[in-house]
Every structure is written in structure tokens, then in C-alpha cells.
Amino acid sequence: MKIIKLKLKERSYPIYIEEGIIAKSGSLLRRLQLGSDAAIITNQYLEKKIGQRLKGSLKKYNISSKIYTVPDSEKAKSFRHCLNLIDKISKYDNNKSLFLIALGGGVIGDLTGFVASIYKRGIAYIQIPTTLLAQIDSAIGGKTAIDLPIAKNLIGAFHQPKAVIVDPGLLKSLPKRQLKAGLAEIIKYAAIKDKPLFSFLKNNYKKIISLDKKAVELIETKCIAIKTRIVEQDEKEKKGIRTILNFGHTIGHAIESAGGYNKYNHGEAISIGMICAAQISHNLKLLREENLDKIISLVRLYGLPTRIKGIALNKIMSSLAKDKKFIHGRNRFVLPVEIGKVKVISNIPQDAIRKAILKHGSCY
Ligand SMILES: NC(=O)c1ccc[n+]([C@@H]2O[C@H](COP(=O)([O-])OP(=O)(O)OC[C@H]3O[C@@H](n4cnc5c(N)ncnc54)[C@H](O)[C@@H]3O)[C@@H](O)[C@H]2O)c1
Ligand SMILES: [Zn+2]
């Protein structure tokens, strides 16, 4: 078993990585002494597939648990479902030593983490991520949130989990499109911080896409370690260090939102976002053409989109203007300067952004 420790003083926690580790959850959690009662938050599909197995493993170690399900979509990240959950777990709680377990993708992780952050001014929770994106990204770092109708993730808190249990074996049932969305984030990690990982992705496509045990454990461990080190240095995204994780996300979020959140999923949108950011960087003479081509080729190799289709340029530009990460209206882009190295640059001219989008899009 690999263990990566995320070090944040009294908020430090272990991230366990091993295929099949879900069966050991009971013994891992007993050792952490979080309490004797767990509320497992998941959806109906995952409840049947994994939830009952998890419950059994907890029972062996005298942790009683109850499963609560939420709808299987981004809609679960709403006030309604948040309050509904709080109502239910408060009845189960009964002043027991209750902790929460998020069993699911990023949606369940974000919602459970947010409930844990506000219930009784904060209780313990565990992340058991079941999508590739959640295993290498959203389950780590303590960002929790629910959505408002006007924008995603507007209500949230930083609340670190007490442990993250990553079982790559759970990815076997993940639909291919979801798997690829996670791979887009892995390409992102390689492009911002890890040139050898970039080469590994290029040379091991078949193994990775067929979920070869060794290859998946290796890339997941590398990405988790990168995210962990970044979060340790800039937990609350105040120092501009955590910002580099947004490579591809500025234009990516705008594409996601302009497409009504159903044309492109998150991973697909950030794939094009990374290419546009690389194009801007190349146009500003910060990135050599051969490196721009390498990024485009890797995105294409993993069957992710490299061009925007059927979205109006104006729609993308106006979504971009609403980016909540911009400071005093000044835009901020993470631009690659080499494979494995990026710079954060503000005030990119609108025209340069438009040009890059048009170069990689059949926008009308
Ligand atoms: N907190 C953070 O730092 C952070 C970072 C990135 C994204 N996010 C959030 O994460 C969410 C997206 O997460 P996601 O991509 O994991 O999507 P998701 O949680 O919607 O899961 C995608 C789909 O996969 C299904 N699924 C999950 N595990 C499965 C499995 N093992 N087998 C088969 N099907 C499975 C789910 O039921 C769902 O239908 C967004 O709400 C986003 O805002 C948060
Ligand atoms: Zn992302």
C-alpha cells in the first residue's frame, strides 16, 4: 500500500492508495479513531456496487453505519440536498460520535465535505473517491462546495478530510467518457509539473486506457503527490501557488458554461482550454511550437477533444468575463513555458484570447 501524507499541522491526513483497499476500510478507519458511527453518502448505483461492501468492512471493526443516497448528478450539489442530508444525519447522530464518508465522484465528495464543514460547526469526514477525477483531484485538498443556479461552487468552505482512501480497482466500472475526463486532469498535472509523467503518458497509452494495475497506480500516485505538495504550500489559494492547478481551466470553464454544461464535460472542456492556453503562450513567444504540438498530440492520443465545435465565440468570451477567479476584472492565465513548467500571467489582451480560441475552434 502506498501512503502519501498531506501535512497541514493539526489538519494533516493520510492518503492510502492500493487496488482492493476498499475491503480494508474498516481496519484503516478504526485505527484513525474517528468515532463509532459513520454516515455514508453515496448514490443508488454506488450503494449497490460498493456501499454494502464498505458497510460490511466497517461492521467487522465495530463501526456501525447508515447509507444515505443523493441523486446521481450535479443537482445533488444544491441547498435542498444539503439541508435534506443534514436533517437526516442529525436524526441518526443522536450525540453519537458521528463522522461522514463520501463514497462517490467529485459531486458526492464536494457535497459531503460541505455538509461536514457546517454541521455542528464542522465534523470529521473521509473521502473514498470512485472516479478518476475524484481520486487524483477533487478528494484531495479540502475544497468543498455546493452550487447556486447562477454559478457552480459559489457556496463552500475549506474543510480537510481525515483520510482519503483511493482504490484504483473501483475505476473498472467507470464509463470510458468519465475515465477520459480524469485523464485530462492527469495530462494537466504532467504539463504543469512533471515532464517524465508527460512522457510516461505518451508511451503507455494502451496500458493506461485498459487500466493496467501498475500503470494506473503509478500515475495516480504521481498526481496525488503533486496535488498534495501544492496544497501544503498554499492550502487556501492565497499565495498563487495553488493557482497553477487551474491550467486549462480559465478557457475550459468558459467553454463548459457556454456549452450549457452538457456539450462538453469538465475534462473535455479543460482539454481544449489547455490547448488554447498553450496557444496563447506560444503567440506570446513563451512556449516553443514543438511543445505546443506535444500538448495537442497528447490530448488527441487520449481521445479528448482538441477543437471547440458549435459554440458562439461571444458566448465563450462573456462566460470568461464572469470568471470568479479574476481579480478586480483583471484576467489571469496559467501559461505553459515548457513541458512541466508554467507561469501565471495577468492581463492577457482580449484579442490574444480570441485569436487562440478561433485557432482551435469552429466557433460562429
Ligand atoms: N473540490 C475540488 O477540489 C474539486 C476539483 C475538481 C472538481 N470538483 C467537482 O467535482 C465534480 C465532478 O466530479 P466527477 O467528475 O467525479 O463527476 P461525478 O461525481 O458526477 O461522477 C461522474 C459519474 O460517474 C459515476 N460513477 C462514480 N464512480 C463510479 C464508478 N466507480 N463506476 C461507475 N460509475 C461511477 C457517478 O455516479 C456519476 O454518474 C464537479 O461538481 C466539480 O465541481 C471539485
Ligand atoms: Zn478540473
> Which domains, from first to last, does the chain contain?
2-173 (3.40.50.1970), 176-362 (1.20.1090.10)
**Is 318's C-beta closer than 6 angstroms to any atom of ligand 1?**
no
Output the pLDDT for position 363. Answer: 66
DSSP notation for 303-329 = T---SEES--HHHHHHHHHT-TT-BTT
100: DSSP letter: E
Cα separation of 202 and 299, whole Å? 10
Helix (H) or strand (E) holding 344: strand 341-346
Clarify whether 253 is annotated catalytic. Answer: yes
Cα separation of 184 and 124, whole Å? 30
> For 52-87, how does the pLDDT look when each residue is reduced to its tens digit (9 = 90+)?
999 999 999 999 999 999 999 999 999 999 999 999
Clarify whether 143 is annotated catalytic. Answer: yes
Nearest Cα neighbor of 129 from 232, 227, 212 is: 227
Bridge partners, 343 (sequence order) = 335
Yes or no: say if 37 and 64 are a contact pair by the CB < 8 Å rule: yes
Q: Going by DSSP bridges, is the β-strand pair 163-166/13-17 parallel, antiparallel, or unpaired? A: parallel
> For 148-181, how does the pLDDT look when each residue is reduced to its tens digit (9 = 90+)?
988 889 999 999 999 999 999 999 999 999 999 9
Ligand lying closest to the C-alpha of residue 152: 1
Q: What are the angstrom distances between the C-alpha of 347 and each of 283, 315, 325, 334, 358?
A: 15, 20, 13, 12, 19
Q: What is the CA(41)–ligand 1 centre distance, in A? A: 13
All three cell numbers of 292: 505546443
Yes or no: say if 69 and 108 are a contact pair by the CB < 8 Å rule: no
Q: Going by DSSP bridges, is the β-strand pair 332-338/98-104 parallel, antiparallel, or unpaired? A: unpaired
* Alpha-carbon 138 to chain mean position: 3
Residues of the chain with pLDDT under 70: 324-325, 327-328, 363-364
Cα separation of 274 and 306, whole Å? 9
Output the pLDDT for position 364. Answer: 66
Q: Which of 77, 162, 266, 294 is catalytic?
A: 266
- Supply the pTM of this predicted model: 0.96
* Alpha-carbon 139 to chain mean position: 7
Residue whose grid cell is 475550459: 252
